[in-house]
Amino acid sequence: MTDQHDNPVRQAIADAIASNEVILFMKGSPEAPACGFSARTVGILQSLDTRFAAVDILPDPRIRQELSALSQWPTIPQLFVGGELVGGCDIVTEMFESGELAELLGAEQQADAADPAVAERSTLQIENRLS
Partner 1 sequence: MPDAASIKARIEAAIPGAQADVDDWTGGGDHFRATVVADAFAGLTRIQQHRLVYDVFGEEIGGPIHALSLTTISP
Residues that bind partner 1 (CB under 8 A): 37, 64, 68, 72-76, 85-91, 94-95
Nearer to partner 1, 74 or 116 (CB): 74
Nearer to partner 1, 46 or 75 (CB): 75
Nearer to partner 1, 41 or 51 (CB): 41
Please say whether the beta carbons of 24 and 55 come within 8 A.
yes
Angle CA(110)–CA(113)–CA(118) in degrees, nearest 5?
A: 120
Q: String of b and e for 34-61 (b: at least 16 CB within 10 Å)?
A: eeebbbbbbebbeeeebbbbbbbbbeee
- Minimum CB separation of residue 98 from partner 1 in Å reads 11
- Minimum CB separation of residue 74 from partner 1 in Å reads 4
